[in-house]
Amino acid sequence: MDSTDGQSDCAYSHPWQSELDEDLLPATRITMSDPLSQLNALINSHQGQDEVTPDASQPEFRISLNPHNLELWRLEHRQIAGKGANLLLACLSSTGPLEETSLGWVVGAAIRPASVNSQEDCKVLLHALGLSSDLINSVLLNCPGIAGKVAWALYLERHGHLVATPVLDQDPDSNDIKLQVTARSDDMKQLNREWPMDERLRELTAKARIFGLMHDQSLPPSIRAILQQADGEARALSDDELGTICSVSTVNAEHLQRLQSKTPLIVTSAKSQLLREDPGLVQPGGALYPGARAEACWRDCWHFLRVTIYAVAAGRPIFTHPPGVEGLRDLYRELGVPVNSMAQAIGFLKTDALSHYSTYASPNDASLLGEALLHLEQMMQQLNQRSSPTTEVNV
């Protein structure tokens, strides 16, 4: 997940709102006298369940009650959401009007906060983001307090299912929402030990920026500026940006666009291969358990491939920034990330990306990608070699 600058994108009321189905959500069905109590009842009635399918007619819609996801979205809300934002949306684009993007897979997505003042405004926004009327109906019926007192995160999981997670403990001065996680307090205490989100961690995260071509004085200033902006926003390059950079490097921009569009599939393939080799990673006691740790791993894989594509576009296969690599090592050590598993995952990324790209790219462009991915793989192998066994923490 990649956060935008923290200001809410919208308070929605659009002229094309009337085009929506007027019967999408009858007003009598969305009246909630006490959404906090309803949310509390939802959580308590599904103790021990990480995910709930609240509407049998919409099996592609789930509500995540995984305590680790609850905590991560709570922290995300505190970090990026402006006061009053009551939606966190995993979007395909971090820039431009919110209604011109769509919801995406949470790995690698831009997390954009939004404010909606009513269920009708929420309905309009979700329609603009590409959700069907039936899905919107189910969301508004089954997410207590949405578009009102309770903030919700909405995102797609890797199979395209829509997932909603309530954002708990939004107001530090209020006890209302804090009461909702009492039944799972042991899980939350364990999570706080595993994912310490303190000032030190935020500082380490800021330093762990491995991409360094914006410091390469041999590149034109305009190209460095594009790379710096895209990396600062932790997003893929736009088609125009790829075209501009590749016009200088002579790398084929259309071929890179094609590769870039396949990055989610390449990451998913690398994940599958890694888990086939070591299925215990995501099982209780494994280094990528619970699910939030695994999702962070796949998200990092997406970012590694993202900056590799930056490097190929610029024609510079040696692209890392030593202080950022040191920062990544310190961050992974702090969080107990299994660096050896990350190194394996990058090896699979390299094989799959090269296999795909080589079928249509020129030999020179394919060679550039191979060099850049080898550079990335060697970086991670060095991190693994320099990691003390005592810092490899299984949780």
Quickly list DSSP for 239-282.
HHHHHHHHHHH---HHHHHHHHHTHHHHHHHHHHHHHHH-GGGG
The model's pLDDT over 343-355, given as tens digits with 9 standing for 90+, comes to 999 999 999 999 9
- Domain 199-384 CATH class label: mainly alpha
The model's pLDDT over 72-94, given as tens digits with 9 standing for 90+, comes to 788 777 776 555 688 999 887 77
Which pLDDT belongs to residue 337? 87
Considering 44-58, 283-297, 312-326, the range whose residues carry the highest mean pLDDT is 312-326
Percent of the chain scoring above 70 in pLDDT: 77
Average pLDDT over residues 13-38: 45
Average pLDDT over residues 312-336: 93
Is the pLDDT at 276 greater than 90, yes or no? yes
Which pLDDT belongs to residue 387? 61
Is the pLDDT at 306 greater than 90, yes or no? yes
Which pLDDT belongs to residue 297? 83
H or E stretch covering 312:
helix 291-314
Query: Does 198 or 263 have the greater pLDDT score?
Result: 263
Which pLDDT belongs to residue 195? 39
* Short-list 82, 150, 145, CA closest to 111: 82
Average pLDDT over residues 171-179: 39
Average pLDDT, the chain: 79
> CA-based Rg of the chain, rounded to a whole angstrom?
22
Is the pLDDT at 382 greater than 60, yes or no? yes
Query: Does 170 or 88 have the greater pLDDT score?
Result: 88
Average pLDDT over residues 148-153: 88
Average pLDDT over residues 252-274: 92
229/328 Cα distance (integer angstroms): 20
The model's pLDDT over 7-17, given as tens digits with 9 standing for 90+, comes to 445 443 333 33
94/105 Cα distance (integer angstroms): 13
Confidence band of 99 (pLDDT split at 50, 70, 90)? confident
Which two structure tokens, joined as six digits, stand for 6? 């923290």
Average pLDDT over residues 9-36: 43
Average pLDDT over residues 53-75: 85
* Short-list 187, 183, 174, 179, CA closest to 72: 187
Which pLDDT belongs to residue 193? 38
Which pLDDT belongs to residue 178? 38
Which pLDDT belongs to residue 290? 67
Which pLDDT belongs to residue 230? 92
Average pLDDT over residues 354-363: 96
Which pLDDT belongs to residue 259? 95
Query: Does 319 or 117 have the greater pLDDT score?
Result: 319
118/262 Cα distance (integer angstroms): 37
Query: Does 371 or 155 have the greater pLDDT score?
Result: 371
pTM exceeding the 0.75 threshold for the entire prediction: no
The C-alpha angle 162, 164, 165, rounded to 5 degrees, equals 150
Domain range annotation of the chain: 2-194, 199-384
Q: Lowest-pLDDT range, 186-200, 327-341, 358-372?
A: 186-200
| Angle separating helix axes 253-261 and 363-386, nearest 10 degrees | 50
Confidence band of 192 (pLDDT split at 50, 70, 90)? very low
Which pLDDT belongs to residue 136? 93
Average pLDDT over residues 209-217: 95
